């Protein structure tokens, strides 16, 4: 079972408290009426489905109830970080460095 850090509760808790909520940083169209069919397809259906580092949303359903974002390696299922909704995408390079250091320790 995954252990997930909720950035709002500042606690690391079992996966059962959380609901996965899909890829993160997919922005809603600012002006939907101007969106082409292809843009709607990309927004609604196309996903990165990364093998490796993946930006994703989680919701602490059985806790504070809030959505937050995470970076997880989809091969090892290890979380590199979690951060509050609305915060910018973290710098992957720095994260990887930090994770590499952890792994070597």
Partner 1 sequence: MARFSAFSLMRHALTGHRDWPAQWPDAEPKAEYDVIVVGAGGHGLAAAYYLAKEHGVTNVCVLDKGWLGGGNTGRNTTIVRSNYLYDESAKLYDHAIDLWDGLSQDLNYNVMFSQRGVMMLAHTVHDVQSFQRHIHANRLNGVDNLWISKERAKEICPPLNISPDARYPVLGAAWQQRAGTARHDAVAWGYARAAAARGVDIVQNCPVTAIRRGPDGAVEGVETAKGFIKAKKVAVSAAGHTSVIMESAGVRLPLESFPLQALVSEPVKPVFPCVVMSNTVHAYISQSDKGELVIGSGTDQYTSYSQRGGLPLIEHTVAAICEMFPVFRRMRMLRKWGGIVDVTPDRSAILGKTPVPGLYVNCGWGTGGFKVTPGAGHTLAHTVARDEPHPLNAPFTLERFTTGRLIDEAAAAAVAH
- The residue ranges that bind partner 1 (CB under 8 A) are 1-2, 15-16, 19-20, 37-38, 40-42, 44-49, 51, 54, 56, 72, 74-77
- Of Zn ion, partner 1, none, which one does residue 19 interact with (CB within 5 to 8 Å by kind)? partner 1
- From the number of C-beta atoms within 10 Å of its C-beta (0-12, 13-18, 19+), residue 73 rates as middle
**Which of these segments, 51-59, 62-70, 82-90, 96-104, binds Zn ion (CB under 5 A)?**
62-70
What single string gives the DSSP state of each residue in 53-80?
A: EEEEEEE-TTTT--EEEEEEETTT--EE
- Of partner 1, Zn ion, none, which one does residue 8 interact with (CB within 5 to 8 Å by kind)? Zn ion
Contacts of 32 (CB under 8 A, 6+ apart): none
Query: Is 9 a residue that touches Zn ion (CB under 5 A)?
Result: yes
């Amino acid at each position: 079972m995954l252990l997930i850090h909720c950035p709002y509760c500042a606690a690391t808790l079992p996966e059962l408290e959380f609901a996965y909520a899909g890829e993160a940083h997919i922005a809603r169209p600012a002006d939907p009426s101007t969106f082409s069919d292809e843009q709607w397809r990309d927004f609604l259906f196309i996903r990165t489905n990364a093998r490796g580092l993946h930006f994703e949303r989680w919701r602490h359903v059985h806790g504070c109830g809030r959505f937050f974002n995470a970076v997880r390696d989809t091969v090892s299922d290890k979380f590199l970080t979690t951060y509050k909704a609305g915060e910018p995408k973290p710098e992957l390079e720095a994260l990887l460095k930090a994770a590499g250091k952890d792994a070597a320790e």
